[in-house]
Amino acid sequence: MIEVDGLTVRFAGVTPIDGMNVTFPGGTCGLIGPNGAGKTTFFNVLSGFVKPAAGSIRAFGEDILRMADYRRARWGLRRTFQTEQAIEQLSVFDNVAMIYEHSGVKGAGKRAEVQAAIDFVGLETPPRARVGGLGARERRLVEVARAVVGSPRVVLLDEPAAGLPEEETEHLRRVIQAIPGQFGALVVLVDHDMSLVRACCETTAVLDFGKLIASGPTAEVLRDENVIRAYLGTEDVA
Amino acid sequence: MDSVVAFAVFGVDWEFFKPYIVLGLALGGVYALSGVGIVVLYQATGVLNLAFGAIGAAGALIAYWMINHTSWPHWLAYVTCVAFGGVVNLAYGLFFGPAFAARDPLVKMMGTLGLALILLGLMAWRAPVGGAFARFLPLPSSSHTFTVFGAFVNWTQVIALVFAIALTVVTTAFLRYTNLGTAYRAIANDREITATLGVPVRRVEASAWFGSGLVAGAAGLLLPDLLTSLDYAALTFLVIAALAAALIGRLQSLWVTLLGGLAVGLAQALFAPYASITQYRSAAPFVLAIVALLWLSRRRVVTITRTAR
Amino acid sequence: MSVTPSPGQDTAAAARAALTLDRGTAVRVVAIAAFLAIALFALPTIGADWTTTFTSVAIYSIITLGLGILYGRVGLISLGQVALLVIGVWTATRLNFATGLSFPLVLLLSGLITCAIGVLIGLPAIRLSGLHLALITLMAAGAVNVVLVAINFPNGGGGFTGRTSTPDLSGLQAVRRPSIAEGDTAYYRYVVVVAALVFLVALLHVRSKPGRAWAAIRESEPAALAAGVNVVFYKLWAFALASFMAGVAGALLAAQVGQPTAQSFQTQDSLTLLAVTLIGGIYSLWGAVVAGCFSQLLPFLFQVQWGFNPNFVLILFGAGLLQVLLTAPGGLAQQFPKDMASLGRLAWRGVGKVTGRGGRT
């Protein structure tokens, strides 16, 4: 469970997140909202790239904001990025194994865990292959593998299917749906593809202008008038 | 910065400091106008031109050669020095600017280091220094002095300070009120979008390169007189003092750059009469610049994009 | 889908892999051994001032190695490496005159002290953007230069600066060389061995955990952080490594020169160092050797052997720097093998055309 309380972020004269209060109960949770609603900023606060002006975030009982940014990954906070950020110079294995190298966990089970993560996402390239030589689909899978290796507690997925064709999105959907069961982690999925959100997420929260405007079971939220208005604008505009 | 002036006010012998204050303000003026030249170019093109000093030094050497080895009129030499700065800077900008346009500011800056090396090599090759031989580039304005508040001031020093202030005023007005100035600010904000708005980005950048180069030439002309000798190596690395001024202004505010330049000049000059620290006074610009940099970068921001090299 | 090998098969395969070097590694090992053999045994035979120059090449290779790793692997630029070199020279000279420590110890201490100073300078600056870090190191270098001109190098005197204005002329002291390597040729070999060890340390770094962390940091800091890499720590480590190397190089330089003077270190040396490091090649350790040659061998050739004005090299370096930045970011170390390979292919095709066979690439 992740509890966000009164989170506020300000920089360069804008307030991307404005008093955000939300609870992500567990399993796979969706986080949607129109462009500029603050979703990626929220992820950046979780990752430690952005310092909030106010508010707190507790995940599984721990105060996330008090942890140093690099420690959060070791604690179990993992993430993928909007534009995929796998390290081209390194091999698939090294990319996925990096979290092990820097978590103080001794290397005994490392190879098995890394291979398990690679198999889980359905990546068929040899582990020693350089990521730079792989295509967009494989790179995205490497990123996801890196996010689920070992014992993740929270997995943040930022538009993982962006730019991928239909069959790849299907494959990704199956992978995402399996994460909570396989690893016991809480997944937060940000995406604009509503069918993906509907398929994967039991609950969904909706942001608009940095504030929460709806949360609850996905089907209900997607029918909510406020949500539709946020995406499409008000009818009175005519 | 104010602490230096405050120190002088509190019960220390004014008379003793006057000549140093005058020199400090004059030098500071040149640092300030160089700083303005650097900031405006950085704003318009994203290039922090570390060859600024070398360009001025080269111009000064050319003026020196014209005065001492030809019979051409002196005013032509001075004009050539300033014009040379504009032309060389423009040439670099036209030739290399587009190639570096998409790269990050660090790489753009390193390109200017290449230019500085080339100029240093040319200067060392064609104008070697050795032993007791020294070059001088006195300006006619230095032979006219008058007294202000009981201190001796020559016209070169006045020109340096007045030019710095005037340049700051004119450039600030230019950036705010003219179309070209607005174009500079637009490009500084986002080059690509500005281009799609129909602004002739290349031409605007060329004007920035040329203008900044003219300022470099002017600085190169004034400094040898203020420092009483023409040492091209010293002139080249005085860019650091100008850089200090620019950094104090956060590479944004021209007025703060002006004040920063004056502060650096004053700090350097006011340490001079103290025997125990006078050898270290040339370190003043470096120390101030470091302090300014660290103070300005208190907040760290992580960029969430892949680095394009 | 590949079948996961059983544990027994896995271990056997791993053991076999460790014992057989693949062709690429074998070629590299042979090349390094051959290079060292030539350096140690063939080069000193050319002439006395050549030996001195080669000693300088080896010393400057160490310092360009540090800068190359800093920029090529981590993406950080330091314009103050020559200042750290000066600090290394100063420390070694001061230790030499003030204590009776053996040379290897002086070497190590100079490296460590310079490393500490480098980290101190880098610590507040490491969180800044690349441009700001470069500028801070440039400023620090300038400040060090001013201090150097003021206090010069120690010459056996007392006090903190260890310099007296009236040195005892009867026994003008020089920095001691190691007892096993006092002559020029012997000292040259000593320096080459030390350099080889430093390169080995660098290689070990690059091939293991720090190297992987650096690769991640250079490509994407957010990704590195998201993978648990302590970015600040690893950046500082790279800085510390480069500073240590500068300190070691400084100590070696002090003993080579004997009586270092402030005049031999100019502000522009920082620029030339950056230029040759990039020209040599920042993505390969060999690039540092190339850079050392450019930095020390080329001016020697220009001035002593060919009679050209050595200042001409500055123009070459400036032009070379621009070229590398614009077209060949890997420098000569990357470009040369590629060019040779293309030339080889062209030649092979030419042979094929002429002889009518074997021209397929």
ipTM: 0.87
Report the share of chain C in percent with pLDDT over 70: 88
Three state DSSP letters for chain B:
CHHHHHHHHCCCCHHHHHHHHHHHHHHHHHHHHHHHHHHHHHHHHCCCCCCHHHHHHHHHHHHHHHHHHCCCCHHHHHHHHHHHHHHHHHHHHHHHHHHHCCCCHHHHHHHHHHHHHHHHHHHHHHCCCCCCCCCCCCCHHHHCEEEECCEEEEHHHHHHHHHHHHHHHHHHHHHHHCHHHHHHHHHHHCHHHHHHCCCCHHHHHHHHHHHHHHHHHHHHHHHHHHCCCCCHHHHHHCHHHHHHHHHHCCCCCHHHHHHHHHHHHHHHHHCCCCCCCHHHHHHHHHHHHHHHHHHHCCCCCCCCCCCCC
pLDDT of B309 reads: 33
Residue C252: partners with Cβ closer than 8 Å, 6 or more residues away: C58, C59, C62, C107, C191, C194
B306 CB neighbours in chain A (<8 A) are 83, 85
The answer to whether residue A221 is domain-embedded is yes
Interface test with C, best of A44, A85, A123, A144 (most C CBs within 10 A): A85
Give the mean pLDDT of C301-327: 88
Looking at the structure of chain A, the number of domains it has is 1
**Chain-wide mean pLDDT for chain B?**
86
Predicted confidence (pLDDT) per residue in C235-273, tens digit: 999 999 999 999 999 999 999 998 888 888 887 888 999
pLDDT per residue as tens digits for the range B247-261: 888 888 999 999 999
Write the CB contacts of B185 (distance below 8 Å, at least 6 apart in sequence).
B43, B175
Mean of pLDDT over chain A: 87
Residue A226 forms contact with B (CB below 8 Å) = no
Q: Which among C136, C139, C221 is the nearest to B302, CB-wise?
A: C221
Distance from CA of C242 to the nearest CA of A (A): 22
Q: Which residues of B touch C75 (CB under 8 A)?
A: 307, 309
Q: Which residues of C touch B120 (CB under 8 A)?
A: 268, 271, 314, 318
Q: Is A70 on the interface with B (CB under 8 A)?
A: no
Q: Which of B252, B302, B304, B306 is the best mutation test for A, with the most CBs of A within 10 A?
A: B304
Chain segment A8-43, per-residue pLDDT in tens: 998 878 888 988 999 999 889 999 988 888 898 999
- Residue C27 pLDDT greater than 70, yes or no: yes
Show the domains of chain C with their CATH numbers: 29-161+175-311 (1.10.3470)
Spell out which residues of chain B touch residue C132, defining contact as CB-CB under 8 Å. Answer: 293, 297
Mutation target among A40, A47, A49 for the B interface, most CBs of B within 10 A = A49
Write down all domains in chain B, each with its CATH number in brackets. Answer: 2-296 (1.10.3470)
pLDDT at position B48: 94
Identify the residue with better confidence: A137 or C201. C201
> Is residue B299 over pLDDT 80?
no
Give the pLDDT band of residue C125 (cuts 50, 70, 90): confident
As a whole number, mean pLDDT of residues A56-69 equals: 91
Is A81's CB within 8 Å of B302's CB? no
pLDDT band at C56 (very low <50, low <70, confident <90, very high): very high
What is the pLDDT, as a whole number, of residue A224? 86
Q: Is A88 on the interface with C (CB under 8 A)?
A: yes
In chain A, % of residues over pLDDT 90 = 38
Q: What pLDDT score was predicted for residue C172?
A: 57
Q: Is residue A100 part of a domain?
A: no
Note the pLDDT of residue A235.
53
C208–B contact, CB cutoff 8 A: no
Tens digit of each residue's pLDDT (9 = 90 or more) over B15-32: 778 888 999 999 999 999
Question: Residue A29 is part of a domain; what is its CATH number?
Answer: 3.40.50.300
Q: A151 pLDDT exceeds 50?
A: yes
* The predicted structure's pLDDT at residue C32: 87
- Is the residue at A77 inside a domain? no
The minimum CA-CA distance between C218 and chain A, rounded to whole Å, is 9
- Number of Cα atoms under 13 Å in the Cβ half of residue A120: 25
Please check whether residue C326 touches B, CB under 8 A. yes
C264 lies within 8 A of chain B by CB = no
Check whether C98 has a pLDDT greater than 90: no
Q: So what's the pLDDT on residue B307?
A: 40
The predicted structure's pLDDT at residue C1: 39
pLDDT score for B5: 55
**B125 vs C125, C268, C309: nearest CB:** C309
Chain C residues lying within 8 Å of A157, measured CB to CB: none
The more confident residue out of C231 and C351 is C231
> Does a structural domain hold residue A123?
no
What pLDDT, on a 0 to 100 scale, did the predictor assign at position B252?
Answer: 86
Has residue A117 got a pLDDT over 60?
A: yes
Whether residue C337 has pLDDT greater than 50? yes
**C17 vs A94, C11, C133, CA distance in Å?**
18, 10, 43
pLDDT at C130 over 70: yes
Phi, psi for residue A62 in degrees, rounded to 5 = -105, 145
The boundaries of the domain holding residue A45 are: 1-68+154-160+182-238
pLDDT, tens digit, 9 for 90 and up, residues C146-173: 888 888 888 766 667 767 665 555 445 7
* Chain B residues near residue C329 by CB distance under 8 angstroms: 309
Confidence band, pLDDT 50/70/90 cuts, at residue C11: low
Minimum Cα–Cα distance from B302: chain A residue: A49
Stretch B141-162: mean pLDDT, rounded?
87
Report pLDDT for A38: 87
pLDDT in tens, A67-102: 988 899 989 999 999 887 888 889 999 999 998 888
Residue with tokens 């994407």: C220
Average pLDDT, chain C: 84
> Mean per-residue pLDDT for B155-183?
91
Mean pLDDT over residues B231-255, rounded?
A: 89
